[in-house]
Amino acid sequence: MLNRQAFQIPFEFDAQALREELSSIPREQVKETYNPYVDAGDLEYLDLIEPILQQDGSIKFIPNQNLKGRPHLLEVLKHFPSEKKTYRMHTLNPGGEIREHRDNQRRYEDGDIRVHIALQSAAGMETYLNGEKIEIKEGSCWYLDLTLPHRMVNHSAVPRIHLIIDCYRNAWWDALFSEHAPEEQAPFANMSLEELESLQFQLSGFEGSAELTMLQEVALEIAARKAG
Ligand SMILES: [Fe+2]
């Protein structure tokens, strides 16, 4: 899938090295997620950055003690040169499910970019966005528009481990989106009404199904322009 709803960000990470660093962090740092979409015990997280109040009253997130001496985890954070508000491990335990829901404003267009990096993947781990199954391979990095309905389920025998990073949109992200997930151009956007009517006339001389489909699309576009 390559569009602004979901696309693979072209960075690969060393999942095993990152898992090893995470497993060396004391277990008591892991907390349970409580929300209406998960059952108790299914979803856990481990924060890797923490908020610090700045002199100007703003909040900046910086690495917490869990990142000390863990260069691979720190490197991931530096890989995305924008301000962040979340950097955490997310673990969906075997048999666990995050039921379908939408997250308000969590998408690029609203300035809020959530990155998923899969650190432990196995058959039976499923991610659905807008009803479509997305294959997230171990070590891969994804952007998902989470204002769309999404759900995750883990039918495997091992935890589904992701790193999650919430970034603020900036020029670096704009460049990445325009290169790897260009905005879809509306069909016929560059044509004038006269050109569309001329195309409609030409297409009406054909009988193929592709021409017929296009003819219907052109007729709809002409009707929409005349209406509005
Ligand atoms: Fe969500």
CATH number of the domain at 148, please: 2.60.120.330
Q: Tell me: the pLDDT tens digits for 60-73? A: 999 999 999 999 99
DSSP 31-56: EE---TTS-TTSEEEEE-EEEEE-TT
Looking at the structure, do residues 160 and 80 belong to the same domain, yes or no? yes
> For position 2, what pLDDT does the model report?
53
How far does residue 11's CA lie from ligand 1's centre (Å)?
A: 22
> For position 4, what pLDDT does the model report?
83
Q: Bigger pLDDT: 187 or 71?
A: 71
How far does residue 221's CA lie from ligand 1's centre (Å)?
A: 36
* Residue 1: inside a domain: no
Looking at the structure, do residues 123 and 69 belong to the same domain, yes or no? yes
Inform me whether the pLDDT recorded for 1 exceeds 70. Answer: no
How far does residue 114's CA lie from ligand 1's centre (Å)?
A: 10
pLDDT band, very low/low/confident/very high, at 45 (cuts 50, 70, 90): very high
Looking at the structure, do residues 124 and 152 belong to the same domain, yes or no? yes
Number of domains forming the structure of the chain: 2
Q: Tell me: the pLDDT tens digits for 168-185? A: 999 999 999 988 887 766
* Residue 88: inside a domain: yes
Average pLDDT estimate for 115-143: 96
Looking at the structure, do residues 141 and 199 belong to the same domain, yes or no? no
User: For the chain, where are the E strands, in sequence order?
Assistant: 6-9, 31-32, 43-47, 49-53, 59-63, 84-92, 97-101, 112-120, 125-129, 132-134, 141-144, 150-154, 160-168
Looking at the structure, do residues 135 and 211 belong to the same domain, yes or no? no
* Residue 187: inside a domain: no
pLDDT band, very low/low/confident/very high, at 35 (cuts 50, 70, 90): very high
* Residue 43: inside a domain: yes
Relative orientation angle of helices 193-203 and 209-227, to the nearest 10 degrees: 150
* Residue 130: domain span: 6-180
Q: Tell me: the pLDDT tens digits for 145-161? A: 999 999 999 999 999 99
Looking at the structure, do residues 145 and 116 belong to the same domain, yes or no? yes
* Residue 162: inside a domain: yes
Average pLDDT, the chain: 93
How far does residue 150's CA lie from ligand 1's centre (Å)?
A: 7
